[in-house]
């Protein structure tokens, strides 16, 4: 029986555990990626471990999220990151260099290597045949210190790609089709591995698009083989020497199989406000559009923007539409400038933004009240754009361009003959915005601004959890609901006391008052609690407010790990009736906690208010139980930086 691609890479990096689905494994991490919004915490955590220099093959710290510099705070964070990386041995990708995932693909990704990133779209690099996983900041800090990354050995879904994409149908439509079929919970505990004759016809950028949005399926990661196309891409980036061929064995077997005929896919669009709310574009044609945003870490490549430019060439953006275009990197920016695509975009009336996350994370470009915004990005959770009642649709750059031109949602097949842009033979390589670390770390002074506060310290777990239900939420609550992003909140990422004032801000503005009045408590959630972004602040801030446990029907992978790392108990309802019976404000008590966890017994939860009780289970390994008992991961790291 042959091996899958994932199995091969995991096997060559395995440090502990058995490669059987559901088992906890530890893998060696070759590369790490951090960005500024999660990265300041990661670097503060790394510093607190007392390790003199990063121990990976390569660590890169990007600045791409917190680009608006309304006051000193983001600027101070950037200066901190520049100095701390220089001292501790990581590369620093300066603001303006581009979005972490696009730049990592271009300049650093290596087939067959492992990459851990403090950003949920790290799987973007799966487009190059890398095993690239998103994680909470603390896990990335441990990996930077040379520690293994622990995860549950996923099930492997083999997606066999057949046929070829038709005119005006794109990689974005392929991943939207999978989201339509599988939903935002469909990839939980799974890795999506692509193979088959349809792979050959997809460029590395298209493969990266599909892997990037595998995060929206809840998948641990997604991966494509490394083949002749991968080689050509790396050659065009001047990095052919890192290429290796890497595919699954022809007789590889998968835990689940999906066949996807590319020629049967049509232009699709995700309606507000979930990436899996997908319908064919033709079904919503004619919907008036106020804003179009092309860009983000998906669909901001040279190919993507060149196609948009070709569609807009010699025409004008509709008078009712405000259109923005964000190049994914400085390289893409340079290349569209050289090719003339930039001129076509400017001429048509597009507003060109700097290479960064921008509108995708609500850093500017909030749409008008209740209006439709069509975006080529990957998430449309309500309010993420910065407008509370936003109506964000997700679609390919081609569909975005059609909407910009006509002022209404339009099937791109209405645009006439398809535009074909060949991948460049030579990319514009200039790494002058990526700084190497210092050779004399002892002479580097780390500069911290007043907004950078120390990481709070937490006590070990007590024997009883007692508190009131602070909030009860439904299925698929995202970390954007728990801890919003956007221009107002993101500058507080390195200041936990300040950012904690925003927990559940958009969902229930009284949450923080209650948490303070009731001296903490518990959170009750539905299925897939904590999906979406990797931000550990969605666990760290609740912990700061003394949230002791989250009781949910199920958890998203990264958030579950973040809760453990921050010392919050992630507990699971054993029946839906138990979820239904519980009410906000109920007083709960879980006693005999330490011995129950040590003996891996279910927990007895008493509802003091309703005078009843139920059992709660948990999906925790022995290692995770030790972390929880210690009060969080940092409390388990020795002075030598080892996990004990």
CB 143 within 8 A of CB 643: no
**Which residues, including other chains, have CB under 8 Å from residue 154's CB and lie 6 or more apart?**
6, 21, 189, 190, 191, 219, 220
Q: Exposure of 364 by Cβ count < 10 A (0-12 exposed, 13-18 middle, 19+ buried)?
A: middle
According to CB under 6 A, which one of 105, 357, 428, 558 is a site residue for ligand SF4?
A: 357
Q: Residue 99 binds which one of ligand MIC, ligand SF4, none, with CB within 5 to 8 A depending on kind? A: ligand SF4
**Exposure pattern of 310-324 as b/e (b: 16+ CB <10 Å)?**
bbbeeeebbeebbbb
- 335, 361, 471, 477: residue in contact with ligand SF4 (rule CB under 6 A): 361
Which letter, b or e, does each residue of 490-522 get, where b requires 16 or more Cβ atoms within 10 Å of its Cβ?
bbbbbbbebbbebbbbbbbeebbebbeebebbb
Q: Which residues of 40-70 are buried (b: 16+ CB within 10 A; e: fewer)?
A: bbbbbbbbebebeebebebbbbbbbbbbeee
How far apart are alpha carbons 397 and 199 in whole angstroms?
21
Q: Which is nearer to ligand MIC, 109 or 520 (CB)?
A: 109
In which element (H, E) is residue 598 found? helix 593-598
Distances (CA, A) of 328 to 292, 297, 303, 483, 491: 16, 6, 11, 25, 22
Q: Of 207 and 448, which has the nearer Cβ to ligand SF4? A: 207
| Cβ neighbours around 307 below 10 Å, total | 25
State which of residues 97, 114, 152, 533 lies at the interface with ligand MIC (CB under 6 A). Answer: 533
Q: Looking at 21-29, 74-82, 119-127, 567-575, which segment touches ligand MIC (CB under 6 A)?
A: 119-127
Residue whose CB is less far from ligand SF4, 153 or 361: 361
Catalytic annotation present for 239: no
C-alpha to C-alpha distance for 467 and 464, rounded to whole angstroms: 10
- Judge whether 626 counts as a catalytic residue: no
- 190 touches which of ligand SF4, ligand MIC, none (CB within 5 to 8 A by kind)? none
**How many residues lie near ligand SF4 (CB under 6 A)?**
11
Which one of the listed residues 533, 534, 541, 554 is annotated catalytic?
533
Alpha carbon separation from 493 to 40, 74, 257, 488 (Å, rounded): 7, 9, 40, 11
Q: Does 566 sit near ligand MIC (CB under 6 A)?
A: no
Catalytic site includes residue 557? no
d(CA 564, CA 222): 24
In the block, which residue shows the tokens 């290349």? 335
User: Which of the residues 63 through 92 are near ligand SF4 (CB under 6 A)?
Assistant: 65
- Distance, CA of 496 to CA of 220 (rounded, Å): 27
What residues between 365 and 384 interact with ligand SF4 by CB under 6 A? 377-378
Site for ligand SF4 in 7-36 (CB under 6 A): none
Q: Which of 65, 78, 448, 481 is catalytic?
A: 65
- With CB under 6 A as the contact rule, the residue among 4, 32, 34, 38 that binds ligand MIC is 38
296 binds, among ligand SF4, ligand MIC, none (CB under 5 to 8 A by kind): ligand SF4
Measure the CA–CA gap between 268 and 382, rounded to whole angstroms: 20
Q: Among residues 83, 296, 376, 478, which is the contact residue for ligand SF4, using CB under 6 A?
A: 296
Quote the least distance from Cβ 120 to ligand SF4, whole Å. 7
> Of 120 and 221, which CB lies nearer to ligand MIC in the complex structure?
120
| Using rule CB under 6 A, residue 535 touches ligand MIC | yes
Instruction: Judge whether 379 counts as a catalytic residue.
Output: yes
**Cβ-based nearer residue to ligand SF4, 379 or 514:** 379
> Least Å distance between CB 252 and ligand SF4?
31
Of these residues, 448, 535, 537, 543, which one is catalytic? 535
Which residue reads 């190049």 in tokens?
A: 327
Of these partners, ligand SF4, ligand MIC, none, which one is at the site of residue 570 (CB under 5 to 8 Å by kind)? none
The answer to whether residue 119 is catalytic is yes
Which 8-state DSSP code applies to residue 220? S
Please name the helix (run of DSSP H) or strand (run of DSSP E) that holds residue 333, with its range, or none: helix 330-339
Using CB under 6 A, pick the residue from 107, 121, 413, 448 that binds ligand MIC: 121
Helices (H), 237-329: 302-312
Could you say which of ligand SF4, ligand MIC, none residue 38 binds, taking C-beta under 5 to 8 angstroms by partner kind? ligand MIC
Question: Which residues fall within 8 angstroms of residue 283, CB to CB, at 6 or more apart?
Answer: none
SS3 category, 167: coil
Q: How far is CA 641 from CA 108, 294, 486, 644, in A?
A: 26, 42, 34, 9
Backbone angles phi, psi at 210, to 5 degrees: -65, -40
Instruction: Please tell me whether residue 7 adopts helix, strand or coil conformation.
Output: helix
- The residue (of 488 and 610) whose beta carbon lies closer to ligand SF4 is 488
Contact call for residue 119 and ligand SF4 (CB under 6 A)? yes
Choose the contact partner of 534 out of ligand MIC, ligand SF4, none; CB within 5 to 8 A by kind. ligand MIC
Identify which of residues 10 and 270 has a Cβ nearer to ligand SF4 in the complex: 270
CB of 522 closer than 8 Å to CB of 550: yes
Residue numbers 365-384 binding ligand MIC by CB under 6 A: 379
Query: Looking at 113-121, 167-175, 455-463, 571-579, which segment touches ligand MIC (CB under 6 A)?
Result: 113-121
Q: Which stretch binds ligand SF4 (CB under 6 A): 127-135, 342-350, 355-363, 580-588?
A: 355-363
Site for ligand MIC in 471-530 (CB under 6 A): 485
Part of the chain binding ligand SF4 (CB under 6 A), chosen from 155-163, 203-211, 354-362, 460-468: 354-362
Q: What mask of x and - would describe binding to ligand SF4 in positions 166 to 205, judged by CB under 6 A? A: ----------------------------------------
Please pick, among 64, 173, 205, 227, the residue that the annotation labels catalytic: 64
- Decide which of ligand MIC, ligand SF4, none touches 377; Cβ closer than 5 to 8 Å per partner kind: ligand SF4
Partner from ligand SF4, ligand MIC, none binding residue 535, C-beta < 5-8 Å depending on class: ligand MIC
- Tell me which of 138, 269, 289, 297 binds ligand SF4, using CB under 6 A: 297
Task: Give the whole-angstrom CA distance, residue 277 versus residue 486.
Answer: 23
Nearest by Cα to 375 from 291, 319, 316: 291
Q: Smallest gap, in angstroms, from Cβ of residue 18 to ligand MIC? A: 29
- Residue in the structure block whose two tokens are 């959770």: 381
| Burial of 527: CB neighbours in 10 Å, binned 0-12, 13-18, 19+ | buried
- Chain residues binding ligand SF4 by CB under 6 A are 65, 99, 119, 121, 296-297, 357, 360-361, 377-378
- Chain residues binding ligand MIC by CB under 6 A are 37-38, 65, 119-121, 134, 361, 379, 485, 532-535
Q: Annotated active-site positions, please?
A: 64-65, 119, 379, 533, 535
């Amino acid at each position: 029986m042959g091996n899958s691609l994932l199995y091969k890479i995991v096997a060559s990096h395995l440090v502990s555990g058995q490669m059987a689905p559901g088992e906890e494994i530890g893998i060696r991490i070759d590369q790490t990626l951090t960005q500024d919004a999660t990265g300041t915490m990661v670097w503060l955590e790394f510093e607190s471990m007392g390790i003199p220099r990063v121990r990976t093959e390569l660590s890169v710290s990007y600045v791409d999220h917190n680009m608006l510099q309304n006051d000193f705070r983001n600027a101070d964070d950037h200066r901190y990151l520049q100095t701390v990386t220089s001292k501790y041995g990581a590369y620093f990708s300066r603001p303006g260099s581009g979005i972490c995932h696009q730049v990592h693909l271009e300049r650093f990704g290596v087939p067959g290597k492992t990459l851990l990133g403090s950003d949920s779209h790290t799987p973007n690099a799966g487009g190059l045949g890398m095993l690239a996983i998103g994680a909470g900041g603390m896990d990335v800090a441990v990996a930077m210190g040379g520690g293994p990354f622990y995860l549950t050995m996923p099930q492997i879904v083999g997606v066999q790609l057949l046929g070829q994409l038709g005119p005006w149908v794109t990689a974005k439509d392929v991943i939207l089709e999978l989201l339509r079929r599988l939903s935002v919970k469909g990839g939980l505990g799974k890795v999506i591995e692509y193979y088959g004759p349809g792979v050959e016809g997809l460029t590395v950028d298209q493969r990266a698009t599909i892997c990037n949005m595998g995060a929206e399926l809840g998948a641990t990661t997604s991966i494509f083989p490394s083949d002749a196309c991968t080689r050509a891409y790396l050659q065009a980036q001047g990095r052919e020497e890192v290429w290796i061929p890497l595919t699954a064995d022809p007789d590889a077997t998968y835990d689940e199989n999906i066949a996807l005929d590319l020629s049967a896919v049509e232009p699709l669009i995700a309606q507000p406000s979930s990436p899996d709310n997908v319908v064919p574009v033709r079904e919503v044609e004619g919907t008036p559009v106020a804003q179009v945003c092309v860009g983000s870490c998906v669909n901001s490549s040279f190919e993507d923007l060149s196609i948009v430019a070709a569609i807009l060439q010699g025409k004008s953006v509709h008078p009712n539409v405000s259109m923005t275009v964000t190049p994914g990197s400085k390289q893409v920016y340079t290349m569209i400038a050289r090719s003339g695509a930039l001129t076509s975009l400017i001429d048509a009336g597009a507003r060109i933004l700097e290479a960064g996350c921008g509108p995708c994370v609500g850093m500017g470009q909030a749409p008008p009240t209740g209006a439709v915004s069509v975006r080529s990005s990957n998430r449309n959770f309500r309010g993420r754009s910065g407008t509370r009642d936003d109506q964000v649709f997700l679609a390919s750059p081609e569909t975005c361009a059609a909407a910009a031109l006509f002022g209404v949602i339009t099937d791109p097949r209405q645009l006439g003959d398809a535009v074909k842009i060949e991948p460049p033979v030579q990319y514009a390589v200039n790494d002058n915005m990526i700084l190497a670390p210092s050779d004399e770390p002892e002479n580097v002074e780390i500069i911290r601004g007043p907004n950078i506060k120390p990481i709070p310290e937490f006590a070990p777990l007590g024997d009883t959890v007692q508190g009131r239900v602070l909030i009860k939420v439904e299925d698929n609550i995202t970390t954007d609901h728990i801890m919003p992003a956007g221009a107002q909140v993101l500058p507080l990422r390195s200041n936990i006391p300040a950012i904690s004032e925003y927990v559940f801000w958009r969902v229930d503005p009284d949450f923080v008052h209650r948490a303070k009045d009731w001296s903490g408590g518990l959170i009750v959630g539905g299925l897939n609690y904590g999906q979406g972004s990797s931000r550990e602040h969605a666990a760290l801030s609740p912990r700061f407010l003394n949230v002791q446990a989250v009781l949910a029907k199920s958890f998203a992978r990264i958030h579950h790990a973040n809760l453990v790392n921050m010392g919050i108990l992630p507990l699971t309802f054993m029946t839906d009736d138990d979820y239904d019976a519980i009410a906000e404000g109920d007083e709960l008590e879980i006693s005999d906690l330490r011995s129950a966890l040590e003996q891996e017994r279910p927990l007895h939860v008493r509802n003091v208010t309703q005078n009843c009780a139920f059992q709660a289970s948990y999906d925790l390994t022995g290692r995770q139980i030790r972390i929880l008992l210690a009060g969080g991961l940092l409390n388990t790291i020795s002075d030598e930086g080892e996990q004990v």
